[in-house]
Structure 1
Amino acid sequence: MDSKNPAKTVHQSVARQIAELIESGNLKKGDKLPAERTLAERFKVSRSSIREAIKSLAQKNLVESRRGDGTYILADMDADIFDAFATAFSDQKKRISDIFQFRRVIEPEIAALAAASMDEETLNRLKVIVCDQQMKAQNGKNTSDLDAQLHLEIAKATGNSIFPEMMQALDRIMDESRSEILQPPKRQQASIIAHFKILEAFENRDPAQARETMRKHIAEVEEAATGRSSSE
């Protein structure tokens, strides 16, 4: 991340993700991009960041903004343009991979400690979060906020004040692995199923089960997000 210019980093990240959707075919030539407000909500950024991202893509002839109509994917794409983006995509994927590596190291142990000290009140609170997540997903809404809340509550359940502080401090970085672009409905449903399995481990007060279930959950999420196994 460019800590000296976070605004620049935000719009560049959005531009990369939109361009990658075009390259992968999820956004096709001639398609109209959603409205600024919709994109801002989807990427969880300001509308000004969306405008800057679109401006950046327009400069590279990937999109065209038509006054009073909207922004369209250009019909004629220059393959060389995508080659120019390749390094940026690679950097972004490496960063996502680094985030998941961090999660694989830290979160299974947090889950094990939480299982060992879990009380009924905390367990019931976690169940409410996962049930809310399931209902929200069934209504076609993004559940990344509840996902983040669940993992934070698990960190709190360890009884160690450092873990939730660490999770909160890293929240913005962790959000990159929970962005809507990386949260298709299938992945959200798979995450919810995994969360119920984690709750089962907590209910059993079984640290080993909690550790292994969380480890598998993070690995499955990484594979869904990056298209490759964490063991590769």
Structure 2
Amino acid sequence: MDIKKQQNPVYESVAKQITELIKSGELQQGDKLPSERNLAEKFKVSRSSVREAIKALVHKNLVESKRGDGTYICAHIDADIIEAFTEAFADQKKRLSDIFQFRKVIEPQIAALAAISIDDETLNRMKVIVCNQEIRIRSGQGAGDLDTEFHLEIAKASGNSIFPDMMEALSKIIKESRSQSLQNTTRLQKSMTAHFDLLKAFEKHDSALAQKIMRQHIEDVESAATGSDSL
């Protein structure tokens, strides 16, 4: 099965499928998991996605990693724990979908208003944020806080005082769609390209273009985060 067709984060899909193998009995308690490389080939994903999936399973006490030996299915796993873990993935899938639906409804319109109202000072501040974001990404550092700051600046530039208040209040929820575990090189590059394109639209005060770029940006991020694209 190609899990990239599943509508939830890739590492969660991997973790869910491993859980299903345990539930079905194909993997028994005490069994050693195949290597990261073999699992990556089996599920057609990157080894980093497999690594994140194993971390999630370790956290839920479904598997245990033994240094220098490998990862094993924990002994004496309660069937109710496996069932609850499987249900939790379904809840996470729905929550992530709801977050992106919210962003697609709200943020394109905020960007459209920002393009009309933005001043040079705000635009220059945004440019600094985006440039710093690019520097961090190129050096392999996380830049989620700058991503949040950039989108908040757009809300402030809209000229509507409610939007930045709303974005700040919901920042913890929206942060889930920017989780470091959902990051990959292609997603980050697409995000940076979209941010630079938004800056150009703001410079031109092109409301329709800003709205279009923001919507496509969020759709691209959603595809990369859920594994529904071909990346």
Report the TM-score, using the length of structure 1 for normalisation.
0.70
Alpha-carbon distance in 2 for matches of 1:125, 1:76:
51
SS state at 1:177 partner = helix
The offset of 1:74, in angstroms, is: 1.5
The answer to whether the 8 Å contact 1:99/1:173 transfers is yes
Give the aligned partner of residue 64 of structure 2. Answer: 63
Give the aligned partner of residue 98 of structure 1. Answer: 98
Q: For the structure 1 residues 139 and 56, does the alpha-carbon distance in structure 2 shift closer, same or farther, using more than 3 Å as the test?
A: closer
Considering only aligned residues, what root-mean-square deviation do their CA atoms show, in Å? Answer: 3.3
The answer to whether the 8 Å contact 2:152/2:167 transfers is yes
Q: For the structure 1 residues 56 and 121, does the alpha-carbon distance in structure 2 shift closer, same or farther, using more than 3 Å as the test?
A: closer
Q: What letter corresponds to residue 220 of structure 1 in structure 2?
A: D
Consecutive unaligned residues of structure 2, counting only runs of 5 or more, are: 1-8, 19-32, 37-51
SS state at 2:177 partner = coil
Q: What letter corresponds to residue 120 of structure 1 in structure 2?
A: D
Report the TM-score, using the length of structure 2 for normalisation.
0.70
Cα-to-partner distance string for 1:34-74 (whole Å, 9 max, x where unaligned): xxxxxxxxx9xxxxxx9xx777522x3x225x6xx699631
The offset of 1:186, in angstroms, is: 1.7
Give the aligned partner of residue 86 of structure 1. Answer: 86
Alpha-carbon distance in 2 for matches of 1:70, 1:165:
50
Please show how residues 121-140 of structure 1 align to structure 2 within 5 Å: 121-140=121-140
Cα-to-partner distance string for 1:117-140 (whole Å, 9 max, x where unaligned): 011111111011111111100001
The answer to whether the 8 Å contact 2:12/2:89 transfers is no
Q: For the structure 1 residues 82 and 184, does the alpha-carbon distance in structure 2 shift closer, same or farther, using more than 3 Å as the test?
A: farther
Please show how residues 1-232 of structure 1 align to structure 2 within 5 Å: 22=15, 29=34, 57-58=60-61, 60=62, 62-64=63-65, 73-74=71-72, 85-228=85-228
Q: For the structure 1 residues 20 and 72, does the alpha-carbon distance in structure 2 shift closer, same or farther, using more than 3 Å as the test?
A: farther
SS state at 1:134 partner = helix
Alpha-carbon distance in 2 for matches of 1:135, 1:105:
30
SS state at 1:100 partner = helix
Q: What letter corresponds to residue 97 of structure 1 in structure 2?
A: S
Q: Percent identity?
A: 50
Larger Rg: 2
The answer to whether the 8 Å contact 1:63/1:71 transfers is no
Give the aligned partner of residue 28 of structure 2. Answer: none
SS state at 2:160 partner = coil
Consecutive unaligned residues of structure 1, counting only runs of 5 or more, are: 1-15, 32-42, 44-49
Alpha-carbon distance in 2 for matches of 1:112, 1:105:
12
Determine which structure has greater relative contact order: mean sequence separation of CA pairs < 8 Å that are 6+ residues apart, divided by chain length.
2
The answer to whether the 8 Å contact 1:144/1:178 transfers is yes
